[in-house]
């Protein structure tokens, strides 16, 4: 840190709220020309890279200052003060999916490396201790805090990937939601012939509220991120909170319209979300990509299997609507003492991974569905699609990717997310026998709830169709299809 930066750092931290962006003006002296330092802090304190200094007439400074216009800056209301959201003035925006994947991978690596330090510093009833114990109890009994082998997963790795991809998911959905509200505002403005200049909405993307930006179709991730949001910055440790804060900076200053435009253009040609995840893993831990079976399943193969299931349901099972079928039947309860109503065509992917097969099933159903005045597509999704689709995935990162991909697909297809119906992709071990998990206290109830919900499907759901592509490290995966 230069003496100039040290002086600015000391002045800033002693006199200014640590959330506030600041521009200093250093007047010319006999020894040198004038300088303009820009300071943009983040949660966890001011760091060296957050102080950028420019000469008075530097073109880069003039270009940045031209973006600062009164009335054009979104203002966030936070606990102690109002903060202008000016990150895009201080940082060069990320404009491509590949660049964003690499940036997130770098920061995920920093989170992974910080986890052991925070774990060692906190007490046995601390946040990370409880979270690790919960994952060991409910999902992975042999899970360790860290691993010396880059190919093996660990708690630190799972946490790092989940934070990176969960925050990316939240940013995607906050942007999609803002887009929708913008369209409504524009429509209302046009209808009223209002001369008012339209100002686009920008949700304040911060750690305290980020869990609310995650889609309602994934209550598990919402609760996981709410637990993270509730932690005090000091308890998360300097290195960990700095890496998490940097992900917020990166995502705030990413051109999400460009990223999503790229996704939308390529979505009909390839699985762009899994391509993004592959780019992420390549930069994060390339050895892990092979171990975890994270390879792209050809869209032609996936489509063929889904269309074959649809045809089998129509010809062999006499269901004229195939995968669209929404009929219900009465089945016996687990104790055989009573009956309950359930959909007839229940579909499960027992090796969900990043959700490729469920994504294709949803696309096929949307293409075949014929809306009526009594049943719109959004109503069909909440009443007859989400209750029929389910999937099991053991690893957090693919689980988060699957939820993002399927949630984004539903949003693009017009689902309103106005019901409490969740997307039934569960974090669970498919090969683990269903059993009643012992009661747990407070902190990990939501982890146990996820396992309990998966166990209900394993034990009680009369699944008609199983499909998917289970991963095999070192071998080509064999697609399978079972119609029961």
User: H or E element: which one contains 349?
Assistant: strand 347-349
Q: Do residue 248 and residue 152 come from a single domain?
A: yes
355 has pLDDT over 70 = yes
- Span 243-269, pLDDT tens digits: 998 899 889 889 888 888 877 666 555
Confidence of residue 478 (pLDDT cuts 50, 70, 90): very low
Q: Are strands 22-23 and 35-39 parallel, antiparallel or unpaired?
A: antiparallel
Better-predicted residue by pLDDT, 305 or 29:
305
Q: Do residue 173 and residue 120 come from a single domain?
A: yes
Phi then psi dihedrals of residue 77, to 5 deg: -95, 115
Q: Do residue 177 and residue 75 come from a single domain?
A: no
Give me the pLDDT at residue 318, please.
95
- Give the pLDDT mean for 303-330: 95
- Give the pLDDT mean for 431-449: 63
Q: Do residue 207 and residue 283 come from a single domain?
A: yes
Give me the pLDDT at residue 385, please.
96
- Give the pLDDT mean for 75-80: 60
Give me the pLDDT at residue 289, please.
62
Q: Which of 40, 56, 90 is the last residue of a domain?
A: 90
Alpha-helical regions (H) of 204-336: 219-229, 233-236, 238-252, 256-266, 272-284, 286-291, 299-315
Confidence of residue 441 (pLDDT cuts 50, 70, 90): low
Cβ–Cβ < 8 Å for 428, 444: no
Give me the pLDDT at residue 477, please.
38
Q: Which domain holds residue 402?
A: 299-483
Give me the pLDDT at residue 474, please.
42
Instruction: Select the highest-mean-pLDDT range: 77-81, 115-119, 300-304, 447-451.
Output: 115-119
Give me the number of domains the chain comprises.
Answer: 3
Give me the pLDDT at residue 177, please.
83
321 has pLDDT over 60 = yes
Residues 278 and 186: their CA atoms lie apart, in Å, by 37
Better-predicted residue by pLDDT, 337 or 76:
337
Look up residue 397 and give its two tokens: 């990162």
Q: Do residue 470 and residue 357 come from a single domain?
A: yes
Q: Do residue 269 and residue 197 come from a single domain?
A: yes
CA pseudo-torsion sign 441, 446, 450, 456: positive
Nearest of 305, 363, 318 to residue 481 by alpha carbon = 305
Confidence of residue 80 (pLDDT cuts 50, 70, 90): low
Confidence of residue 484 (pLDDT cuts 50, 70, 90): very low
Q: pTM score, two decimals? A: 0.80
Q: Do residue 127 and residue 212 come from a single domain?
A: yes
Residues 246 and 108: their CA atoms lie apart, in Å, by 10
- Whole-number CA gyration radius for the chain: 25
Q: Do residue 56 and residue 120 come from a single domain?
A: no
316 has pLDDT over 90 = yes
Give me the pLDDT at residue 479, please.
43
Give me the pLDDT at residue 379, please.
95
- Span 185-202, pLDDT tens digits: 666 665 555 555 445 556
403 has pLDDT over 80 = yes
Least confident of 73-87, 324-338, 383-397: 73-87
158 has pLDDT over 70 = yes
Q: Do residue 309 and residue 415 come from a single domain?
A: yes
Nearest of 362, 347, 372, 357 to residue 410 by alpha carbon = 362
- Give the pLDDT mean for 51-57: 79
208 has pLDDT over 50 = yes
Give me the pLDDT at residue 38, please.
78
Q: Do residue 238 and residue 356 come from a single domain?
A: no
Give me the pLDDT at residue 152, please.
77
Mean pLDDT of the chain: 80
Burial class (CB in 10 A: 0-12, 13-18, 19+), 5: middle
Q: Three-state SS for 390?
A: strand
Give me the pLDDT at residue 78, please.
61
Give me the pLDDT at residue 420, please.
85
Instruction: Select the highest-mean-pLDDT range: 268-272, 380-384, 432-436.
Output: 380-384
Q: What is the DSSP letter of 197?
A: P
Q: Do residue 339 and residue 195 come from a single domain?
A: no
Give me the pLDDT at residue 291, please.
57
Q: Which of 260, 291, 322 is the last residue of a domain?
A: 291
Q: Three-state SS for 226?
A: helix
Q: Which of 90, 120, 150 is the last residue of a domain?
A: 90
Confidence of residue 469 (pLDDT cuts 50, 70, 90): confident
Give me the pLDDT at residue 282, please.
86
What is the number of other CB atoms lying within 10 angstroms of the CB of residue 175?
21
Q: How many residues does the chain have?
A: 484
Confidence of residue 79 (pLDDT cuts 50, 70, 90): low
Q: Do residue 143 and residue 258 come from a single domain?
A: yes
Better-predicted residue by pLDDT, 233 or 90:
233
- Give the pLDDT mean for 22-48: 72
Give me the pLDDT at residue 176, please.
84
Give me the pLDDT at residue 155, please.
94
- Give the pLDDT mean for 119-127: 91
Better-predicted residue by pLDDT, 401 or 201:
401
């Amino acid at each position: 840190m230069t003496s100039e930066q040290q002086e600015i750092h000391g002045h800033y931290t002693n006199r200014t709220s640590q959330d506030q962006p600041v521009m200093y003006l250093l007047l010319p002296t006999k020894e040198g020309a004038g300088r303009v330092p820009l300071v943009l802090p983040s949660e966890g304190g001011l760091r060296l890279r957050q102080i950028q200094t420019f000469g008075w007439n530097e073109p880069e400074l003039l270009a940045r200052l031209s973006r600062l216009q009164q009335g054009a800056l979104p203002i966030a209301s936070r606990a102690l003060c109002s903060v202008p959201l000016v990150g895009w003035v201080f940082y060069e925006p990320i404009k491509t999916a590949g660049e964003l994947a690499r940036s997130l991978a770098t920061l995920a690596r920093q989170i992974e490396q910080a986890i052991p330090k925070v774990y060692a510093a906190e007490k046995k009833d601390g946040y990370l201790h409880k979270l690790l114990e919960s994952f060991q109890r409910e999902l992975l009994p042999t899970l360790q805090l860290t691993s010396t082998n880059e190919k093996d997963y660990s708690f630190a790795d799972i946490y790092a990937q989940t934070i990176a991809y969960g925050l990316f998911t939240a940013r995607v959905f906050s942007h999609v939601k803002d887009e929708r509200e913008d369209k409504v505002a524009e429509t209302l403005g046009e209808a009223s012939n209002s001369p008012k200049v339209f100002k686009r909405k920008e949700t304040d993307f911060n750690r305290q509220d980020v869990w609310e930006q995650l889609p309602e179709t994934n209550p598990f991730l919402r609760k996981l991120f709410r637990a993270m949001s509730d932690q005090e910055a000091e308890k998360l440790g300097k290195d960990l909170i700095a890496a998490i804060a940097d992900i917020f900076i990166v995502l705030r200053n990413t051109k999400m319209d460009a990223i999503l435009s790229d996704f939308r253009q390529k979505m009909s040609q390839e699985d762009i979300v899994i391509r993004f995840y592959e780019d992420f893993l390549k930069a994060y831990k390339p050895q892990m990509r092979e171990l975890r079976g994270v390879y792209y399943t050809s869209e032609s193969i996936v489509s063929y299997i889904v269309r074959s299931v649809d045809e089998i349901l129509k010809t062999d099972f006499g269901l004229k609507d195939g995968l669209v079928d929404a009929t219900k039947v009465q089945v016996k309860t687990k104790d055989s003492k009573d009956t309950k109503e359930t959909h007839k065509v229940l579909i499960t992917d027992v090796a969900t991974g990043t959700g490729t097969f469920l994504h294709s099933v949803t696309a096929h159903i949307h293409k075949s569905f014929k809306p009526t005045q009594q049943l719109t597509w959004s109503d069909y999704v909440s009443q007859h699609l989400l209750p029929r689709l389910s999937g099991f995935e053991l690893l957090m990162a693919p689980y988060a990717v699957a939820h993002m991909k399927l949630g984004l697909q539903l949003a693009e297809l017009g689902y309103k997310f106005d019901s409490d119906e969740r997307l039934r992709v569960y974090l669970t071990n498919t090969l683990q026998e269903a059993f009643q998990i012992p009661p747990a206290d407070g902190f990990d109830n939501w982890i146990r709830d996820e396992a309990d919900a998966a166990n209900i499907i394993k034990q009680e759901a009369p699944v008609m169709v199983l499909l998917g592509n289970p991963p095999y490290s070192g071998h080509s995966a064999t697609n399978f299809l079972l119609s029961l």
